[in-house]
Amino acid sequence: MNIILIGPVSGNIERAKRVFATAERACVEEGHVVVQNPMRDHVGGKSEAEYMQESLSRICQLVIDKTPDLIAVVLPYWSKSDGAMCEAELCRKLKIMKHSWEILPFILAFAITAEANGRAIQ
């Protein structure tokens, strides 16, 4: 599958980077390709609106390019983030199937949850 990661970014940027990195690693370990990880190239200095424009544009481009087997995986607390909810709604409108991070194997889902709660496991 080609995966779009959706989750909260604002607030604790370092934690968000760890959560998204853990989720991406979990997806790759399962043989998937992460085609959208908003934290992979996050360098700061842009407004939330600029990040959202880039993210929504990338999601649309994936559809325009007819990326096969495209799904969205929502990460912990995604529904508490206006930006993540916007991305999830766009995916819904574009008929991109949405799944919870809990679809990943238990230990990987546990690692993502722990990271999101600030309790990283080694």
Burial string for 14-23 (b: 16+ CB within 10 Å, else e) reads ebbbbbbbbb
Give the Cα separation of 47 and 95 in Å (integer): 28
Domain boundaries, the chain: 2-116
Residue 50, Cβ neighbours under 10 Å: how many?
Answer: 10
**Nearest in space to 82 (alpha carbons), one of 25, 22, 10:** 10
pTM of the model: 0.81
**What tens digit of pLDDT does each residue of 65-109 get?**
999 989 898 888 888 899 999 999 999 899 888 776 666 555 455
Give the Cα separation of 108 and 1 in Å (integer): 17
Which of the four pLDDT bands, split at 50, 70 and 90, describes residue 121? Answer: very low
What is the third-level CATH fold of 2-116? Rossmann fold (3.40.50)
